[in-house]
Chain A
Amino acid sequence: MTPILTGRDLHKNFGVTPALRGASLTVGEGEIVAVMGPSGSGKSTLLHCLAGILTPDFGEVHFAGRRIDDRPDRERVQLRRTAFGFVFQFGQLVPELPALENVALPLLLAGWRRKAALANAAGWLPRLGLDGVGTRLPGELSGGEGQRVALARALISRPKIVFADEPTGSLDSAAADQVMELLVDAAREQGSSVLMVTHEARVAAYADRTVFVRDGVDAVSVGAP
C-alpha cells in the first residue's frame, strides 16, 4: 500500500511533560487506521502533529511524499484546507450558521462561489441521512445529527485524509455505529484515508488497522500492515 502520511520518530513536549517520545506511524492511501491508548498516552498529540496542527520538537512528518512539519504555518493551513478533513468529538460546528452552510464551509474557504458551494453541500445531506436539517442551526440538532454534519463538512472537499479525534465520543452506541458506518463508507467511496483517535474498541473495530500508543510511543498494531 502506498503511504500517504508518515510520521517518523516524533517527539513533543508540553513544558517539561513529554507527550510523544519517538512515535512513528504510517497511513496508506485509502487506509483506515485507528489509534488507541490510555488517557494521556499521547494519541491526540500524535494526531495533531501528523495533521500539521502541532509542530513536533523532533522527527518528521511526510504527506504525499513531501515533508510538511518544517513548512511555514501559511502552507500548512493551506494543506489542511485542501487535502485534510477534520472531525472532532463535539463536531465544532459554527453555531451561528445553519447545517448546510457548515457543510459548505471548506468549499467557501477554498474560494468556491457561494451558490455552487451550497449546491454541493446540499448533495451531502441525504447521503448522511440529514434530509430536511439543512436550515437548522447546530444547537437545534441532536448529537448524532451534529456529528454527521461535521462528517459531511470533513468529506466535502474530497480530502486525501480525514483526521478524526474521538468522532463518536459524545454519542450513544447506536448513533456511534451510524456515524462510523457513514464515515467508513464515504471514505472508501472517494478513496480518502482516515486516521482516527478513539478510546472505544467498538469504534476502532471499523478500521483496517489499529495502533496502540502507550507513554508517547506506538506499541503494537493489529490488522493488515
Chain B
Amino acid sequence: MPRPEGAVALVTGASKGIGAAIAQALAADGWHVAVNYRSDEAGANAIVSAIEDAGGRAVALHGDIANGAVDGLFTQAEEALGGPVLALVNNAGVRADNLAIQIDDADWDNVLNTNLSAAFRLTKRSLKPMLRARYGRIVNVASVVGPRANAGQANYAAAKAGLIGLTKTVSHEVARRGITVNAVAPGFIETDMTKDMLDDVVKAIPARRAGQPEEVAAAVRFLASDDAAYVTGTTLFVDGGMSA
C-alpha cells in the first residue's frame, strides 16, 4: 500500500544535527514534517524555512518529550499540517557520560527517560493513527553504542540497546497492519553532540572519517519509504564499518 496523501512525519529533536537532516530528507521525499524541538527555537524555524524554500511543508513544534509532551505534539502536528502522523522518528537524545561507578541517579534517569522511555510513549501514541490508517513507519535512532561497548556511556548504551529491543518487539506486534518499525544505528557522526569525541575515535573507524548527518538521514528516508515496506524489525548501521 502506498503512503496516504498528506501523511505527516514527526521527528523529535529536529532543530539541529541528525534530526534536522532527517526532517529535510523526509520533506524532500514528500512527507509533511513536524520539526520537534526542546530549546533551539531558532534552529527549528531555520529547518522549517529550508524545507519550505525547497517546496515542502513543515511546522516547528516545541515540546519536551522527556516531560510529558506527547499527546500535544501529535494533536498540534495533525492540526498544523492537516494530516495524520504516519511516520515517527524517535531521534531526540541526550548524553551524560561517566564511568558507571560515577553515574548518579539523576544522570541515569535523565538519559533513560529521554532516549528510551519517551521513545516508547511516542511510539505507543503513534500507533493510534497508524493502526487506523493500516500504514505507518517508525524509525528509532539508536547507536552503535549499545550493541557495542563504549566505556563511559553505560546509561546511553543501556538506553540505545533498549531502543533496539523495543524496535524488534513492536515490529512483530504491528507488522500485519502495514506498520514497519526499524532502527538506524549511527556510528560517529559529526554533530554538536559528538564534537568533543571525534578526534579520539576516527582511528578506530574503518572508513577513517566521521559520518555526516545526511548519511544517517538517507537511511531513515529509505526506511520510511514505500520501498522499505517489507523491511521491519531491523537495525541499519550507518557507521563506516565500525560494527562489522
Q: Do A and B come from one complex?
A: no
